[in-house]
Amino acid sequence: MKRHARPHKYIVGVDLGGTKILAAVFDPRGRMLSREKKSTRPERGAAGVLDRVADCVNEALAAAAVPHTAVAAMGVGVPGLITGGGAVVRMAPNLHWQNVAAARQLSQRLHFPVTLINDVQAGTLAVQQFGAGRRLRTFVCMFIGTGIGGGLVLNGELYRGSAGAAGEIGHMVVVAEDGPRCGCGNYGCLEAVASRSAVVRRIVTAIEKGRSSVVTELCDGNLRRIRSRILAEAYREGDKLVRAVIHDTCEYLGIGAANLINVLNPEAVILGGGLIEALGSVMLPRITRAAMAHTISASAERVRILDSGLGDDAGILGGAIAARQLAA
């Protein structure tokens, strides 16, 4: 009788965001069998959030009819700085976490090996293996959502920097004079003028000053509920305020892309994240035009601006890639 050396071949990928948790189960051939979603509720603290991650994973395993004993490993994309070789979340501002040994705590709940990976690095690996970066050796990812994160693939390798902190493209200063304040405490960062949060802030400020917009209806008068989906709907309905703010945002994103092109001379800049998922078709041409206008000629000749092609799945796919490396 031949014994299987590794009978546990299923992989779980998790995208742990500040707003929602996504979990997916992949079979040994890499096909996604199930995908579940849960709100994060960061206010419940690390233990509470990790309970919710475990619940979400259990639901995904149940939906795929895969027993825990058949899982080789799980990888979790986390919006923060990961240390200890994928074991510890050193800090994750959106979750209000500091030094959480999340890999061990999830492993105790789920009884299979768990590794952590920065969410943007996870998304970048996913773009490289499954998305628009598949045939490229050198590209930059820009993920535009609540914040703006960046991932660099240089000469075929994910570039992490000297201390694993590379890719903070959202904190490039692009408005050095009188720029708005950023969440990081500085002024004029790209994230402060071009993230979904920056878009929402400008729209809310205008509405509060009396400007009319279909957004007010679309979110039932609760302006805190503005999400990318609502912005996309308002844009499609021709809302003037939303259009003006999105168009401005594309200018800034184009400048951010151009800065990265001028410094790194990549084959492509690849865009992802919630805002692009919702509004990519209108934003991409405008971002491209703005980027080309600010790129010096030698780099502009061949560079392309692309959609990641992965929609909301970049995070779970990247988590699965990290899990597969752990299991290998």
Residue 104's closest CA among 80, 84, 78?
A: 84
Residue 158 binds a copy of itself (CB under 8 A): no
Residue 81 binds a copy of itself (CB under 8 A): yes
Residue from the set 299, 307, 312, 325 that interacts with a copy of itself by CB under 8 A: 299
Q: CB-wise, 58 or 138, nearer to a copy of itself?
A: 138
Nearest distance in Å: CB 87, a copy of itself: 17
Q: How far apart are CA 147 and CA 217, in angstroms?
A: 25
Phi, psi of 100 (to 5 degrees): -105, 120
Residue 5 binds a copy of itself (CB under 8 A): no
Residue 177 binds a copy of itself (CB under 8 A): yes
Of 10-18, 32-40, 148-156, 212-220, the segment contacting a copy of itself by CB under 8 A is 148-156
Q: CB-wise, 111 or 137, nearer to a copy of itself?
A: 137
Q: How far apart are CA 146 and CA 16, in angstroms?
A: 14
* DSSP 8-state assignment for residue 19: S
Residue 150 binds a copy of itself (CB under 8 A): yes
Number of residues engaging a copy of itself in binding (CB under 8 A)? 50
Nearest distance in Å: CB 122, a copy of itself: 17
Q: How far apart are CA 89 and CA 4, in angstroms?
A: 35
Residue 262 binds a copy of itself (CB under 8 A): yes
The helix (run of H) or strand (run of E) holding residue 117 is: strand 114-118
Residue from the set 6, 176, 209, 222 that interacts with a copy of itself by CB under 8 A: 176
Residue 104's closest CA among 87, 116, 89?
A: 87
Of 70-78, 147-155, 275-283, 315-323, the segment contacting a copy of itself by CB under 8 A is 147-155
Q: How far apart are CA 28 and CA 70, in angstroms?
A: 10
Name 187's bridge partners: 181
Residue 175 binds a copy of itself (CB under 8 A): yes
Cβ neighbors of 21 (< 8 A, separation 6 or more) are: 14, 15, 37, 38, 39, 40, 49, 52, 53, 56
Amino acid making up residue 311: G
Q: Which two tokens stand for residue 64?
A: 């795929």
Q: CB-wise, 255 or 283, nearer to a copy of itself?
A: 255
Of 13-21, 27-35, 224-232, 294-302, the segment contacting a copy of itself by CB under 8 A is 294-302
Residue 88 binds a copy of itself (CB under 8 A): no
The DSSP annotation for 26-51 comes to E-TTS-EEEEEEEE--GGGHHHHHHH
Residue 138 binds a copy of itself (CB under 8 A): yes
Residue with tokens 């960046």: 150
Residue 169 binds a copy of itself (CB under 8 A): yes
Residues at the site binding a copy of itself, with contacts judged by CB under 8 A: 81, 91, 137-138, 150, 152, 154-155, 159-169, 171-178, 184, 186, 193, 251-252, 255, 258-260, 262-267, 293-296, 298-299, 301-302
